[in-house]
């Protein structure tokens, strides 16, 4: 997990810039800091597809250019009962909506053992892992899911119906990192296809299904095919039934249902972000957040030790002949952070260009990035 030596930017510079950029487009101070923290946490944890690489296309452009996302988040609490709540995010900042919902779920869990909050009319909330880690830090189990733009075909289908719909658990342990299975319910998500396109790298067959039931490997063509509807992503488990694709399909559908039916919210193709005339409209995403207070079951320290023991035993089990080691979920992100806090965050050339363009567009002339001074070889 070595960091590329190119375009390294110190973490605090990236945090300050991202916060100021969100402020510049109208996000209030505290919310701007939070949104920046969610994005930079992705970069710190090595999740390059969901950090500042997404700042322009998923947040900045939607606020400034497409005008389908509100920089000021007006969170309406539609229903609030003992352990449950339903909120309407009114197309505000997805990260702010998500963090507030998880905080509400945790407050409820502290009183009732469990708290569940559902959100509708939200926008992209970034890495799901951020919110479950909020719970882990306070001796709780965190669970969240979000729906997303339609890109995944159901088993035996070829049409992009479901989002990449992560279903993520955070479980505290006695180690330096929580167990966090922070991933999509499709084999691959769009960010990794964009990354492959940037690096000029083909994808393995079987991650994408074409209208004629075949597969595709050229990332540029796949990105275009996902937009035109000529291609769809494949759920975890793969194409068809033989390798259990219906299991990923089932998990993706579970997330879709929990992100729309409780909320009386939008689903499937209604989340595309376009109207019938191809005009940009809000994505109307839904999320759910669950917090479980471990102290209602057992001593948190005991729970953490048991959870840590299970993970240590898994990592210590017999390795495959070619494998260097066994990991548990959340570990690679922790290792990435140990490295990146020393080296800084590596950015692609395209992300560097986007940061400079947004900075200049917003007149944030007090910022200069190290890559602008690097001598190109």
Ligand X SMILES: NC(=O)c1ccc[n+]([C@@H]2O[C@H](COP(=O)([O-])OP(=O)(O)OC[C@H]3O[C@@H](n4cnc5c(N)ncnc54)[C@H](O)[C@@H]3O)[C@@H](O)[C@H]2O)c1
Contact set with ligand X (CB under 6 A): 47, 49-50, 124-129, 146, 148, 164, 166, 168, 180-184, 189, 192, 327-333
Residue 43: CB minimum distance to ligand X, A: 11
CB nearer ligand X, residue 155 or residue 164: 164
State how far the Cα of 137 lies from the Cα of 72, in Å rounded to an integer.
27
Q: How far is CA 269 from the centre of its chain?
A: 19
* Buried b or exposed e, range 283-320, using 16+ CB within 10 angstroms: bbbbbbbbbbbbeeeeebeebbeebbeebeeeeeeeee
Nearer to ligand X, 23 or 287 (CB): 287
**Which three-class secondary structure state does DSSP give residue 73?**
coil
State the nearest-atom distance from the C-beta of 142 to ligand X, in Å.
12
Residue number with CB closer to ligand X (95 or 106): 95
Supply the minimum distance, in Å, between the C-beta of residue 180 and ligand X.
5
Q: In angstroms, what is the minimal distance from the CB of 297 to ligand X?
A: 24
d(CA 352, CA 9): 10
The least CB distance from residue 127 to ligand X, in Å, is: 3
Minimum separation from the CB atom of position 347 to ligand X (A): 17
Q: What angle do CA 126, 130, 135 make, to 5 degrees?
A: 145
Nearer to ligand X, 211 or 332 (CB): 332
Shortest distance, CB of residue 295 to ligand X, whole angstroms? 25
Question: Among residues 375, 359, 358, 377, which one has the least CA distance to residue 367?
Answer: 359
Q: Which is nearer to ligand X, 128 or 294 (CB)?
A: 128
Q: Are 24 and 55 in contact (CB under 8 A)?
A: no
Residues in Cβ contact with 25 at an 8 Å cutoff, skipping those fewer than 6 apart? 60, 63, 64, 71, 362
Distance between CA atoms of 101 and 86, rounded to whole angstroms?
A: 9
Closer residue to ligand X, CB minimum distance, 31 or 331: 331
Nearer to ligand X, 105 or 187 (CB): 187
Distance in angstroms (rounded) separating the CA atoms of residues 69 and 214: 36
Interatomic CA distance for residues 162 and 29, integer angstroms = 34
């Amino acid at each position: 997990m070595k960091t590329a030596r190119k375009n390294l930017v110190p973490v605090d510079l990236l945090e300050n810039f991202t916060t100021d950029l969100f402020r510049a487009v109208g996000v209030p101070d505290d919310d701007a800091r939070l949104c920046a923290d969610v994005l930079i946490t992705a970069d710190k944890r090595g999740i390059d597809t969901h950090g500042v690489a997404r700042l322009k296309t998923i947040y900045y452009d939607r606020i400034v250019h497409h005008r389908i996302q509100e920089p000021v988040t007006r969170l309406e609490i539609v229903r609030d009962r003992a352990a449950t709540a339903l909120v309407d995010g009114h197309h505000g900042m997805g990260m702010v909506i998500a963090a507030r919902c998880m905080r509400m779920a945790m407050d409820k869990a502290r009183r009732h053992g469990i708290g569940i909050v559902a959100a509708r009319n939200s926008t992209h909330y970034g890495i799901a892992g951020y919110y479950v880690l909020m719970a882990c830090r306070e001796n709780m189990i965190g669970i969240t899911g979000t729906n997303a733009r339609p890109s995944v075909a159901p088993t035996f289908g070829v049409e992009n119906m479901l989002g990449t719909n992560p279903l993520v658990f955070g479980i505290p342990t006695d180690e330096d990192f929580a167990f966090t299975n922070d991933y999509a319910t499709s084999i691959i998500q769009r960010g990794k296809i964009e990354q492959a396109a940037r690096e000029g790298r083909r994808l393995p067959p079987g991650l994408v299904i074409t209208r004629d039931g075949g597969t595709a490997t050229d990332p540029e063509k796949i990105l275009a095919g996902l937009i035109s509807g000529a291609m769809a992503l494949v759920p975890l488990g793969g194409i068809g039934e033989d390798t259990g694709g219906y299991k990923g399909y089932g998990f993706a559908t579970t997330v879709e249902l929990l992100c729309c039916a409780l909320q009386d919210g939008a689903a499937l193709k209604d989340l595309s972000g376009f109207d019938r005339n191809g005009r940009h409209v809000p994505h109307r995403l839904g999320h759910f957040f669950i917090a479980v207070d471990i102290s209602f079951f057992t001593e948190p320290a005991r729970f953490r030790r048991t959870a840590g023991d299970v993970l240590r035993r898994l990592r210590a089990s017999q390795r495959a002949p070619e494998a260097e080691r066994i990991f548990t979920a959340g570990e690679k992100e922790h290792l990435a952070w140990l490295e990146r806090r020393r080296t800084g965050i590596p950015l692609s050339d395209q992300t560097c260009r986007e940061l400079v363009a947004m900075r200049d567009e917003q007149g944030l002339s007090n910022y200069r990035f190290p890559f602008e001074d690097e001598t190109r070889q």
